[in-house]
Amino acid sequence: MFKQVEKTTAVQDMIKAAYGDESVPMDDLAVFEAQAVSTRPLRRRNGIYQGAQIGVDVLHAMAASVKGKDGSLPVQRMHNPGIPVGRVVAAAVRPIENGHSALHAVFYMPRRDSDLVNKIDTGVLTDVSVGMLPKQLLCSACGWDYKGTDATLDNLWDCTCANGHVIGTDGVSMRLHGLEAWDELSLVDRGASPGASILPRSRQALAKSPAFEQMLLSRGFDDSVFYLRASATLDVPPPSPPSPPPAPARNPINMDELVTLKAEKIVADRDLLAANTQLTAAQTELTALRAKVADVETKLAAALAVDAVKVKADVEAAGAFIEEVLKASLAATGGKLESLPATIAERISMVRELRAQLAMRVPAGGVARPPETGTGDGSPAAPSFAAFTRK
C-alpha cells in the first residue's frame, strides 16, 4: 500500500464510470497516480525527438480526453499493444518546478496481478510513458511544421526543417502542439519524459486536490481549460498495428519512437494521396490527348483521301491533254508512230522534239509556206498546223 491511492468516494465514482458498472468490486482493484508526461525536454539523444518539448496545450487536451468509459485509456507494459494491465480513469494538468507543467493520471489495476502491483508498491517498477500523436511538430528555431503540407520523409530522416535548421544542433529541437490521439499509458523501464513515474503518496497531488472530486464529477472538464477543442474524439485514427518483437540487442520502443513512426506514416499517407491525385490528373490529360490525336488522324486521313482523288483527276486530265498535243504535233510534222510512249515524261519529251522541228520550218517573224497542192513542180508540201487549232 506504499503508493496506492486512497479510494475515496470520488475516486470510486470515476472508476465505476470508466468500468461501466456500479457493482465493480473496489476491493479487487489497486489505484495509483502517475506523472505521465511533462513540458520539460524529453530524454532523447538522437532522432527527431532529441530534446523535444510537449506544449502545455497538448497536456490539457490529453487530460480533457479522459472522460468516462469511452475516454478511459489502457495501461500497457512497454507500449505492447496486447491485453491491457489497467485503465486510466482521470487526468489533470499540474504546475511543477521552473514554470513547467505535468500531466497527472489516475489508473487502476486488478489486485490479482499481485506481482505487478507489488513491484509498483515497492518501487521496483516506477517509470511510465505515454503513446500519443501530436497535431504539429514545429521547429523550435523557425516554427516550420514537420507535419505540414510541404514536409517530406527526408525532413524526418535528416532531422532538418525546410529552412535548414538541424535538430540537435545549436539548440534546435522539436515543439509538439495539438493532439491527434492519446492511445495509452505504459509501464516502462525508463520514461522518455523526466519525472514521468508512479508517484508515492507523499507526491500525489491529483487525488488529494480539493478540486479533484468536483473535477471527477464533471468527467475531467475544467472551466479554466480552453484547449478542449483539441480533445480526442471517437473517430481519431486507430493505433498502428503491432510491430514484431524487437531483437534482443535492441531496447524496447519508447514513446518518442512510437510517435516518430506515427508521424512518418501520416506524412507517407499524405504524399501517397498527393501522388495519386497527380496520377489521376495525368491519366485524364493523357486520355484527352489521345482523343485529340485520334481526331487529327481521322481528319488527316480524310483530307489525304480527298487530295488523292483530286490529284488523280488532274493527272489524268494533263495526260489526256499531252496525248492530244502529241498527236497534233505528229500530224503537223507528217510523222507516224505505231504506238504512243507509255509514260507522260516520254510523251512530253517527244512533244518538245516535234516543236523543235516545227520551229525550223517557220522563219523568224515570217509566215509558214502554205501547203503544196501538188502542182507538179516537185516541191514538198508545207506542213499544216490546222491540227493545233483548239476548239
Q: Per-block average pLDDT, block size 10, for the chain (391 residues)?
A: 81 82 86 92 87 93 81 84 87 90 91 84 89 92 92 90 94 93 88 80 66 41 26 34 46 45 64 85 90 88 83 84 81 72 83 78 58 50 48 45
Give the model's pLDDT for residue 194: 82
Count the domains in the chain.
Answer: 1
Q: Would 190 be classed as within a structural domain?
A: yes
Q: What pTM does this model have?
A: 0.53
Q: Would 276 be classed as within a structural domain?
A: no
In angstroms, rounded to a whole number, what is the distance separating the alpha carbons of residues 322 and 314?
12
Q: Would 57 be classed as within a structural domain?
A: yes
- Kind and range of the H or E element at 37? strand 29-38
In angstroms, rounded to a whole number, what is the distance separating the alpha carbons of residues 251 and 206?
32
Asked whether the beta carbons of 153 and 106 are under 8 A apart, the reply is: no
Give the model's pLDDT for residue 252: 41
Q: Any idea what the CATH number is for the domain that residue 50 is in?
A: 3.20.16
Give the model's pLDDT for residue 234: 31
In angstroms, rounded to a whole number, what is the distance separating the alpha carbons of residues 383 and 331?
9
Q: What angle do CA 15, 17, 18 make, to 5 degrees?
A: 65
What's the distance, CA 56 to chain centroid? 31
Give the model's pLDDT for residue 266: 64
In angstroms, rounded to a whole number, what is the distance separating the alpha carbons of residues 214 and 246?
44
Q: Would 24 be classed as within a structural domain?
A: yes
Q: Would 144 be classed as within a structural domain?
A: yes
Give the model's pLDDT for residue 138: 94
Give the model's pLDDT for residue 199: 82
Burial of 157-181, coded b for 16+ CB within 10 Å and e otherwise, reads: eebbbeeebebeeeebbbbbbbbbb
Q: Would 128 be classed as within a structural domain?
A: yes
CA distances (Å), 147 to each of 52, 61, 141, 178, 308, in order?
A: 15, 19, 16, 12, 64
Own/partner pairs, 260-269, CB within 8 angstroms, 24+ separation: 260/47, 260/48, 260/49, 260/156, 262/133, 263/48, 263/133, 263/137, 263/146, 263/147, 263/156, 264/153, 264/156, 265/240, 266/133, 266/147, 267/146, 267/147, 267/151, 267/152, 267/153, 267/156, 268/153
Cβ neighbours for 156, distance < 8 A, ≥ 6 positions apart? 48, 146, 260, 263, 264, 267
Number of residues assigned to the chain: 391
Read off the C-alpha cell for 308: 488523292
Q: Would 131 be classed as within a structural domain?
A: yes
CB neighbour class for 64 (10 Å; exposed up to 12, middle 13-18, buried from 19): buried
Which residue range forms the structural domain that includes residue 186?
A: 9-221
**58: nearest Cα among 173, 176, 152:** 176
Q: Would 384 be classed as within a structural domain?
A: no
